[in-house]
Chains A and B, each alone.
Chain A
Amino acid sequence: MPPVDFELSEDQATIRRAVAELAAKFDDQYWLEKDAAHEFPAEFYQAFADGGWLGITIPEEYGGHGFGITEAALLLEEVSASGAGMNGASSMHLSIFGMHPVIVHGSEEMKRENLPRIVNGDLHVCFGVTEPGAGLDTTRITTFARRDGSDYAVNGRKVWISKAMESEKVLLLTRTTRFEDVAKKTDGLTLFLTDLDRDHVDIRPIRKMGRNAVSSNELFIDDLRVPEAHRVGEEGQGFRYILDGLNPERMLVAAEALGLGRAALRRAVRYGNERVVFGRPIGMNQGLQFPLADSLARLDAAELALRKATWLYDNGKPCAREANTAKYLCADAGFEAADRALQTFGGMGYSEEYHVARYFREARLLRIAPLSQEMVLNFLGEHVLGLPRSY
């Protein structure tokens, strides 16, 4: 029986340090400007592509490094913790692990064509699953791919598609058999990796509260032609392919939330030491110091839950309970830290200049996306505790 070991491996420690160094080249001013201008952080993204980081989990035979979710989580956590926050993390999130269904189920040709371009940063991809009429009830999507000779013709609507504006391709979930016509509701869904042909897909960015350097979009798909070769795996099996990626996604988002909380806490501590009111640093007030100390404890606890989850996944063990728990705890701890940082800054926290307002807006997102905290509790209540389905 090996002892419990909390040390990072040498590779992991190196990844962490190197990512932190690279991300530090893009300071808070950079992110403030990108966010304000609603401009994709192309320089940042390119720096990470040039460093080979985008292919961290992609197999070596396609140009990547073949690392696991633990390393990917460390990467995104450090990106977020640098102050790049969700703007930085979302610019590359899909490249880091979004290709998983393609790696596992895609054709050799599809992989040869796309994966090396993900690694070198040339290919931007977005994830097209959610729809206005379906929400998290994914099997209720209605975007339909109709067979037309050797092609498919796709029609429908998608919503909350991150980075669609900037993307060349979309990993698109469709129905190839209508909900009404399948025996099991998870049947009849088909996944494609195809071009976002602007002649047939109208992309409209959604005005939103934060993470403004990376767009969130509504997609109106009108007779998009998709060749059969763009289908991932078998027809009708798309839901299963997507399901494979849900736990890793939860862990990566947890890492991003955790990093954001660390960034917020770091700034709050610095300000608490520097800012003097009533003749002493404001960090001397228990009313400010205790909440920050409490957030440190909560972030540390959430980090442990996350490390356990990624370790389980990388060791091929079931991890749904831990992945969901990590997402839940990291999102709450991250938001709470950002909220407290804002409180520590007082009025200054409300100005853009001190950056914690941006962290706050971004941290709030992670209690909603990619799934709400309540849906995590639904999962834990039903599938871990064995309570009846509550919704």
Chain B
Amino acid sequence: MRWQLSEEQDAYRESFGAWLADAAPRGVVRRWLDDGGAAEFAGRLVRDGWAGVGVPEALGGQGGGLVELALTAELLAGASAPSATWLATVLAVPALGSGTDVAAFEGEHAALLSPADAIPGAGPRLTIDGEGRLHGAVPRVLAGDLAARFVAVVDGPGGSPCLRLVSASAGVRAQTRRLLDRSRSVADVVIEGAPSGPLDVDAREFLAGCAARAAVLVAADSLGAMARMLDLAVTYSKQRHQFGVPIGSFQAVKHAAATILVEVEAARSAVYFAAASVDAGGPQSALHAAAVKAQVTAAGARVADSALTLHGAIGYTWEHDLHLCYKRAKLDEYLYGGPEAWNERIADGLRLVPA
């Protein structure tokens, strides 16, 4: 079996990477993170036409699939760019009807009302009254402070989930909560009688797909952060001298860096395989997604610690970029469910105990 990026995918990676280098250089990203400039970057992403890449044209996007989205996630993480609105939107879009989905890529970001620290769909459901008004609260919604529309999960007939669309206007309050990783944001969303409209999709199918896509994309994000940390650590270990030699000449340092490289390469192989698998919708695709979420994001958190060790105290300073990636990788481990939650899904899928 041989799997590789297509020529178009390679070209996309290159051109989006070049755009990012131009639109989100270090100094600018740091200013955004310090001043809460996530909206500025999100606006630029929309304006320059990148927001719909990886979303089928039928859903208002520009075509492509989860592999393109994973490339985007990896590159965004490598640049430490603010990406909550982008991720929330591409996850929510498959539930939107025509019209709103196009708007979602024109600056009216969408988000699923589900806690960012749980597997999508595992969170609390809202209640709906006879007039279609929604009531309830969902804590820690990714991009909850920046979204124009929300996909809400309510109790449908017989307790099955049902999806509703609600606008971030009257009756919806979003209380921003600042994260240690300031390149993403979450908000507690409280809904008190906001009107809602129907969404014509199978809720279970959407939520299952949303979970799988979230798993792959957060893993891809972790991969991007890891690759950047490896880059920083190797560069530093060649610059920094101790005992008259570059610290990179010490085996303990070399081996730690080589171990990170192994993690990065393993992650890359697994993430893109899982992305293609989820897009193909094979019977094992949910397990592949769970596996990369559990494994890659845990590796990302380990790599963060190792990269910090390799940097010594300089990596602990505000001036150095390492902490941006460090916090990104640490959040990725728990964003949309920690390794334990995803391992549980894998265990369930293995039928360890006879049904």
**Which residues of A are in contact with B by a Cβ distance under 8 Å?**
285-287, 290
- Nearest-neighbour CB distance to chain B for A95, whole angstroms, equals 43
**Which residues of B are in contact with A by a Cβ distance under 8 Å?**
250-252, 255
- Nearest-neighbour CB distance to chain A for B242, whole angstroms, equals 13
- Return the chain B residue nearest A288 by Cβ: B251
Could you say which residues of chain B place their CB within 8 Å of the CB of A285?
Answer: 251
| Complex A-B: 9 CB contacts under 8 Å | A285-B251, A286-B250, A286-B251, A286-B252, A286-B255, A287-B251, A287-B252, A287-B255, A290-B252
Could you say which residues of chain B place their CB within 8 Å of the CB of A287?
Answer: 251-252, 255
- Return the chain B residue nearest A290 by Cβ: B252
State the CA gap A286–B251 with chains docked (Å): 5
State the CA gap A285–B249 with chains docked (Å): 11
State the CA gap A299–B255 with chains docked (Å): 24
**For the complex of A and B, 9 pairs with smallest distance between CB atoms:** A286-B251, A286-B252, A287-B251, A287-B255, A285-B251, A290-B252, A286-B250, A287-B252, A286-B255
State the CA gap A290–B251 with chains docked (Å): 10
Could you say which residues of chain A place their CB within 8 Å of the CB of B255?
Answer: 286-287
- Nearest-neighbour CB distance to chain B for A308, whole angstroms, equals 31
Could you say which residues of chain A place their CB within 8 Å of the CB of B250?
Answer: 286
- Return the chain A residue nearest B252 by Cβ: A286
- Return the chain B residue nearest A286 by Cβ: B251
- Nearest-neighbour CB distance to chain B for A290, whole angstroms, equals 6
- Nearest-neighbour CB distance to chain B for A92, whole angstroms, equals 42
Could you say which residues of chain A place their CB within 8 Å of the CB of B252?
Answer: 286-287, 290
State the CA gap A290–B252 with chains docked (Å): 8
State the CA gap A286–B249 with chains docked (Å): 11
Could you say which residues of chain B place their CB within 8 Å of the CB of A286?
Answer: 250-252, 255
- Nearest-neighbour CB distance to chain A for B223, whole angstroms, equals 27
State the CA gap A285–B253 with chains docked (Å): 12
- Nearest-neighbour CB distance to chain A for B154, whole angstroms, equals 35
State the CA gap A285–B254 with chains docked (Å): 12
Could you say which residues of chain A place their CB within 8 Å of the CB of B251?
Answer: 285-287
State the CA gap A290–B254 with chains docked (Å): 13
Q: Besides the contacts A286-B255, A287-B255, what 7 more A-B pairs have beta carbons closer than 8 Å?
A: A285-B251, A286-B250, A286-B251, A286-B252, A287-B251, A287-B252, A290-B252
- Nearest-neighbour CB distance to chain A for B21, whole angstroms, equals 36
Could you say which residues of chain B place their CB within 8 Å of the CB of A290?
Answer: 252
Residue of A285, A286, A290 with highest tally of chain B CB at under 10 A: A286
- Nearest-neighbour CB distance to chain A for B319, whole angstroms, equals 29
- Return the chain B residue nearest A285 by Cβ: B251
State the CA gap A305–B250 with chains docked (Å): 33
- Nearest-neighbour CB distance to chain A for B353, whole angstroms, equals 14
- Return the chain A residue nearest B255 by Cβ: A287
- Nearest-neighbour CB distance to chain A for B335, whole angstroms, equals 29
- Nearest-neighbour CB distance to chain B for A289, whole angstroms, equals 9
- Nearest-neighbour CB distance to chain B for A105, whole angstroms, equals 42
- Return the chain B residue nearest A284 by Cβ: B251
- Nearest-neighbour CB distance to chain B for A281, whole angstroms, equals 14
State the CA gap A285–B255 with chains docked (Å): 11
- Nearest-neighbour CB distance to chain A for B126, whole angstroms, equals 34
State the CA gap A165–B250 with chains docked (Å): 53
State the CA gap A286–B248 with chains docked (Å): 12
State the CA gap A245–B137 with chains docked (Å): 57
State the CA gap A285–B252 with chains docked (Å): 9
- Nearest-neighbour CB distance to chain B for A391, whole angstroms, equals 14
State the CA gap A287–B258 with chains docked (Å): 12
State the CA gap A171–B255 with chains docked (Å): 52
State the CA gap A116–B203 with chains docked (Å): 79
- Nearest-neighbour CB distance to chain A for B246, whole angstroms, equals 14
- Return the chain A residue nearest B251 by Cβ: A286
- Return the chain A residue nearest B250 by Cβ: A286
- Nearest-neighbour CB distance to chain A for B9, whole angstroms, equals 38
- Nearest-neighbour CB distance to chain B for A157, whole angstroms, equals 27
- Nearest-neighbour CB distance to chain B for A343, whole angstroms, equals 13
- Nearest-neighbour CB distance to chain B for A292, whole angstroms, equals 13
- Nearest-neighbour CB distance to chain B for A192, whole angstroms, equals 39
State the CA gap A143–B252 with chains docked (Å): 55
State the CA gap A290–B253 with chains docked (Å): 12
- Nearest-neighbour CB distance to chain B for A201, whole angstroms, equals 37
- Nearest-neighbour CB distance to chain A for B104, whole angstroms, equals 46
State the CA gap A285–B250 with chains docked (Å): 9
State the CA gap A286–B250 with chains docked (Å): 7
State the CA gap A287–B253 with chains docked (Å): 10
State the CA gap A270–B252 with chains docked (Å): 21
- Nearest-neighbour CB distance to chain B for A346, whole angstroms, equals 16
- Nearest-neighbour CB distance to chain B for A22, whole angstroms, equals 41
State the CA gap A287–B259 with chains docked (Å): 12
Residue of B250, B251, B255 with highest tally of chain A CB at under 10 A: B251
- Nearest-neighbour CB distance to chain A for B135, whole angstroms, equals 37
- Nearest-neighbour CB distance to chain B for A294, whole angstroms, equals 11
State the CA gap A287–B252 with chains docked (Å): 6
State the CA gap A60–B252 with chains docked (Å): 55
- Nearest-neighbour CB distance to chain B for A206, whole angstroms, equals 28
- Nearest-neighbour CB distance to chain B for A280, whole angstroms, equals 13
